[in-house]
Every structure is written in structure tokens, then in C-alpha cells.
Chain A
Amino acid sequence: MNRREFLKVAGMGAVTVFLSGCGVLGTTGTGESSQAAKAVAPQTISKGNKLKILVITGSAHAQGTSAHLADRFIQGAMEAGHNVTRFNSAFEKYHLCTGCNQCGGDGPCVFKDAIEEKLMPSLLEADVVALITPLYYYGFSAQIKSVIDRFYARNNNPKLKGKNALLMATAYNSSADTMPALVKHYQAILKILNWKDAGQVLAIGCGARSLIEKSPFAGQAYEIGKKM
């Protein structure tokens, strides 16, 4: 049973996805916040300055749907002159937080891996952090969630606070209730870190690269990068 057939069996509206694609859904819209990009007002974050942007991706597909959103966002941000660092969780070697608390919430992690050596310096310096993930079982992929868990090693560091955040996610499912659980989680993470939401691209009905390329979501990701 392939994925599309399965979705049909599970009553997830596979036929709707197939017929309408995400482009149609994106343009018709239903007024649901989950279907529209919540884009930042132009220049509100940068105020004309160069930003340090950290992009953390969660997909194991190097050329998949969420990778496309990341590419388009980064393209826009770089064209606007910002400095972008990208950390692809699924292609890095790292450990999961063991809650040992050696870091005390602000200190070196016991794991000297890609998160501690590569990600953490960029994370502390970043003005903007973009979390970009495929939706796996209605949440962040395990790969990116495991990276977020490791934020703990600098959770109490003043440099980790007060950043701007972006959420971009892609999903097969096209129904209006696809993304709210993820968004709620994202909002809770922001509360914990004292970060501010600076935009969301919630690409529902985008189960394949061809669908997202044709959708308005890719352009929304680009525009957010360009107009930050």
C-alpha cells in the first residue's frame, strides 16, 4: 500500500490532495490562519541592518518539500543581504539530551558533537531562528525536536533570549486541522525561550516536491526572507 492509497484508506482526503494540490488550496483559502503565511511586515526586524539568521531543518530528504521552503527562504534572505547559517539536523551527527544537567542550563554540554560545536555558536549569535520541518505524526520531525531539546544547554543564557523565530512546515494532509498542534507547540517553545514569532509558512497539501514548487508557499518563504 503506498502512501497515497493509505491516506485514502485512512480517510485523510487523499483524493482532495491529488485533485486540488496545494496551489489551489493556498489561493482559495478559507480564512483559516493555518492556511496562510503570517508574513512579517517589511524591514520590521532588520531595520535596514544585516541579520544573522540560523536555519534549522528537520527533514531527512535533502531535496524534499521542506528543503525547498528552506532554499527559497534563504534565497530571499541572502538577496536582502543577510547572513545565513543552515543546520540540517538529519545530516549531522549528534546525541539526544540525556537530562544529565551538567550544563546547568547554561554551560558546555557533555556531548562535543555537531550541536555543541557547530550549532550552538550560531544559535547564540543569531537574530532570527527559522525552524523548518516536515510534519511527522503532526509534530516536528524527531530529528529537529531532538535538536531543540539540546537548546537546554544554553536555556538560561541571556544570549539565547529575545530572538525572532520563524516556523515553516510541510504536510501531505490538506485539511484545516493539520497544523494547529504544531503551531501550539511552536508557540510554547517561543514562550519558554522568550522569542517572538516573526512569520509562519504552513504548507498543507504539499506531499511532493512538484506540489510545493507550484504552490504559493514557496513564494511566501522567499518573501519572508526578502522582506525581513
Chain B
Amino acid sequence: MKIIVLTGSPHKNGTTSLLADRFIAGAEEAGHDVYRFDSAFKSIHPCIGCDVCGMNGPCVHKDDIEKDLISRLVACDMVVLVSPLYYASLTGQLKTIIDRFYSRTESIHRKKSALLVTAGSKESWTMEAVEAYYKKLTNYMEWQDVGKVLAAGCLDRVALEKTAFPQAAYELGKKL
């Protein structure tokens, strides 16, 4: 499979980066082709709803999303969303990418998908909002969810490394 991993963290070696690394290691060992797009380190613009694309055409923003990512998203078999929780959901960086699906949205429908997130908080409701969001997004995009790693209570890399979540991310990639 062609897999696109979209990360949302501005931390290069943070918690979600570790989940992404482990997922990618598993997926590549299983023979899949992975492309990783680190939103926080790319040139990206939020969708301005100008509708020049007509939902199926070039975006007015000639940035890394338009020039690099979007054609890969259209061609891929699976999209993996990886993000720390900022105020209970995906970061602004990653939400910027999702909003920009708009210019080719129909062509990004009907993929497989996975969600890998981390949060410092471990309240019982920590993951509820992002789970509801992901469920709604996958429903709309007609994506088939193949797995989630919801790493609550992992504020930093040290905390995450002591948990089973990195291994779960690896297994998720490996079993695809």
C-alpha cells in the first residue's frame, strides 16, 4: 500500500513523533511504501474557502500542500493522522492540512485510515472529542478505520516510552 503519514506536532522528537516512527517502522517492514508529511515543518496555508478549486482543481496556494502533498493523497491507499492533542483535538497545523483536502476532496475519499494521538491529560474524557471528530471525519470521507492508538497520560517522550503505545503503533503498521 501507499501510505501517507500526516503529523501535526511542532516537536521533532516528541511523543507523536515516536508513534509515527514506530508505525512507519512496522509498515515498512511489512513492505508498504510510506510518505511522511510533517505539517509543522512545511510551508502551508489554511483554506480560505475561495472555491477557485471548485473542489476538484488546483488550489490558489502554491505551497507544500499543493505542490507536494495533495497528489500523493489522491494516489495513496491509506492516510494516517498523527497529532498531539492541543485543546482536546488535532493541532492547528494538522487541521490546516485536513481543511485543504477540499481542493481534491472527492479523490481523497475511500481510503484506509488510522489515528495516532498523545495527550498529557489522562482524564476519562481526554480522548472523547478527538475520537468523535475522527469518527465523523472518516464517515464523511468514507475512510475505513484500521486502528487507533490513543496515548493518554503521555506528556513527554520519557512517559510515552514506558507505555505499550509505541509498540501498539508498530504492530498497527506491521499487520497492515
Check A9 for interface membership: any CB of B closer than 8 A.
yes
A97 to B54, CA, bound (A): 31
Check B173 for interface membership: any CB of A closer than 8 A.
no
Chain A contacts of B90 at CB under 8 A? 139, 145
Residue of A nearest to B50 (CB): A60
A151 touches B87 (CB 8 A): yes
| A2-B54, A97-B92, A185-B129 given; A192·B46 CB < 8 A | no
A6 touches B95 (CB 8 A): no
Q: How far is the CB of A36 from chain B (nearest CB, A)?
A: 20
Check B9 for interface membership: any CB of A closer than 8 A.
yes
Residue of A nearest to B10 (CB): A98
Q: How far is the CB of B30 from chain A (nearest CB, A)?
A: 29
Cross-interface CB contact of B9 among A2, A99, A184, cutoff 8 Å: A99
Check B23 for interface membership: any CB of A closer than 8 A.
no
Chain A contacts of B74 at CB under 8 A? none
**Chain B positions 63-89 with a Cβ under 8 Å from a chain A Cβ:** 84, 86-89
Cross-interface CB contact of A10 among B11, B48, B109, cutoff 8 Å: B109
Chain A contacts of B14 at CB under 8 A? 99
Check A111 for interface membership: any CB of B closer than 8 A.
no
B51 touches A3 (CB 8 A): yes
* Besides A99-B14, A139-B137, 11 new A-B residue pairs in contact (Cβ under 8 A), listed by A number: A60-B46, A90-B46, A90-B48, A97-B91, A98-B10, A136-B95, A139-B89, A139-B90, A185-B130, A185-B132, A191-B88
Residues in A lying within 8 Å of B, measured CB to CB = 1-3, 6, 9-10, 59-61, 64, 90, 96-100, 134, 136-143, 145-149, 151-152, 177, 180-181, 184-185, 187-189, 191-192
Interface pairs (18), CB distance under 8 Å: A2-B55, A6-B105, A60-B48, A60-B50, A61-B49, A97-B10, A99-B10, A136-B98, A139-B95, A139-B98, A139-B133, A142-B46, A142-B98, A146-B93, A146-B96, A177-B136, A188-B128, A191-B88
